[in-house]
Amino acid sequence: MALPILSKDEVHIWTIDLNRCNADVSLLTHSEISRANGFVDLHKRQRFIRARAALRKVLSCYIGKEWAFQDFNYGPSGKPSLSYKVDLNFNMSYSKNIAMIAVSSCRDVGIDIQAVEQAVDPESVSEFVYSPSEVAYLLSLNSVERKMAFSEIWVRKEAYVKALGAGFSRPLYTFSVSSVPNDIDALCEDEMNHLATKEWRLTYINAPDGYSAAVAAKGRDWHYIEIEEPLDFIYYGDHS
């Protein structure tokens, strides 16, 4: 296969069906294997292994096998990065059996995906994690519409804080996003950075039926490209 060429104005989005991936621990580092062994639930352990193995193989497309299977660096909030290839950024999220990976050159990036059916009860948590405008909007919807909107807002907020590298150290109620389907410019305001809407772009991304997904990246001069689901090298190849 022809390996993807990543331009500076692109963010590549890979969508992976974890049911089709091998749970090959030989593709993981020792620290990742230790983390996998910490999962008591076998299904969650296998899903973590498959997701990390797929991530390693995707990265190998861009930086080569010799670099893609080394330990990551982790930021203060746990965001992984490549210390030896500073002009390549990536982020991964998975929900149920679907994983999504974002890869960019020279810009911070964050991605999130969630199965709508797994969305928590909006009324029970929205006032603690959503901004006042988001809460007011959710409460104006009926129960069916509210669950979908809650999921759309959630993945957009998660993608943004992951791009920032802030994780849960950043209160989610301090910024607002839209829940408009297919919104390509979904960051509305950030009370901790009034220039955020000029410095970042947050957009929906296509997701499988029953899922919501979003990606955020630094700058306004980029667009995302969907990479066709990884071919045989993702599922059956080796890194030797």
Q: Is residue 5 part of a domain?
A: no
- CA dist., res. 73 & res. 58, Å (int): 17
The pTM (predicted TM-score) of the whole model is 0.91
Residue 174 and residue 202 share a domain:
yes
pLDDT single digits (tens) 49-103: 999 999 998 998 888 877 778 888 998 888 999 877 778 999 999 999 999 999 9
* Per-residue CA distances from 160 to 64, 139, 150 (Å): 28, 23, 16
Residue 20: predicted pLDDT: 86
Evaluate whether 178 touches 130 at the Cβ level (below 8 Å): no
Residue 142 and residue 54 share a domain:
no
Residue 161 and residue 131 share a domain:
yes
Q: Is residue 240 part of a domain?
A: no
Residue 120 and residue 213 share a domain:
yes
Look up the domain containing 99 and give its range: 10-112+225-235
Residue 54 and residue 120 share a domain:
no
pLDDT single digits (tens) 119-149: 666 566 666 788 888 888 888 888 788 888 8
CATH number of the domain encompassing residue 129 = 3.90.470.20
Residue 48 and residue 77 share a domain:
yes
Lowest mean pLDDT among 17-26, 103-112, 188-197, 226-235: 226-235
Backbone phi and psi for residue 209, each to the nearest 5 degrees, phi listed first: -55, 135
Percentage with pLDDT > 90 across the chain = 56
Residue 204 and residue 184 share a domain:
yes
Q: Is residue 76 part of a domain?
A: yes
- CA dist., res. 119 & res. 115, Å (int): 7
User: What's the longest Cα–Cα distance across the chain?
Assistant: 55
- CA dist., res. 83 & res. 60, Å (int): 15
Residue 127 and residue 99 share a domain:
no
Backbone phi and psi for residue 91, each to the nearest 5 degrees, phi listed first: -160, 150
